[in-house]
Amino acid sequence: MYDDVVVPTDGSAAATAVVEDVTAFARSHDATVHGLYVVDTRFAPVEGTIRALEYEFEDAPDPTEEHPTAVLGRRLREAGVDYESDFRVGVPNERILGYADHVDADVIAMGTHARSGVYRFLAGSTTERVLRKADVPVLTVPVEQT
């Protein structure tokens, strides 16, 4: 029933919070996890955005060992979970939803954290936007507040 799980990751606490739950979920369903990193163009300088959009994805270098998708993959593979990764350029919620369609995902798993004030007004919540627009279930995992 749940064969493919998309996990957007940027290395933040919210993205990392989901690893344990995704590991258990994927193992119980024998699912493949698709890690996704999105280069957010909303706050990038115009010149950098244009260069990023022109980038040939087929020629993309493998991410470094510290890259969020590599860290996620290492943890999942150590737990015996099948893992693939990719990256996209654009507005995160749009790219996450598009990628979920692309891999025919059965579920999207994301961490959540409380943001408020000016930042939320300007950027909004990626998780919230994905929740509202997703055609598949979205598993949300709260970040523990310390």
> Residue 34 forms beta bridges with which residues?
6, 84
Q: How confident is the model over 101-123, as pLDDT tens digits?
A: 999 999 999 988 655 555 454 44
Q: Which domains does the chain have, with CATH numbers?
A: 4-142 (3.40.50.620)
Question: Where do we find the tokens 């029933």?
Answer: 1
**Sign for the pseudo-dihedral over CA of 23, 27, 29, 30:** positive
Determine the pLDDT at residue 93. Answer: 94
CA nearest to 76, candidates 34, 14, 23, 9: 23
Q: How confident is the model over 15-28, as pLDDT tens digits?
A: 778 889 999 999 99
Alpha helices in the chain (DSSP H): 13-17, 19-29, 46-54, 68-78, 92-102, 117-123, 126-133
Which among 5-14, 41-50, 111-120 has the top mean pLDDT? 5-14
List Cβ neighbours of 60 (8 Å cut-off, separation of 6 or more): 87
What is the pTM (predicted TM-score) of this model? 0.79
Question: Does residue 132 or residue 67 have the better pLDDT?
Answer: 132
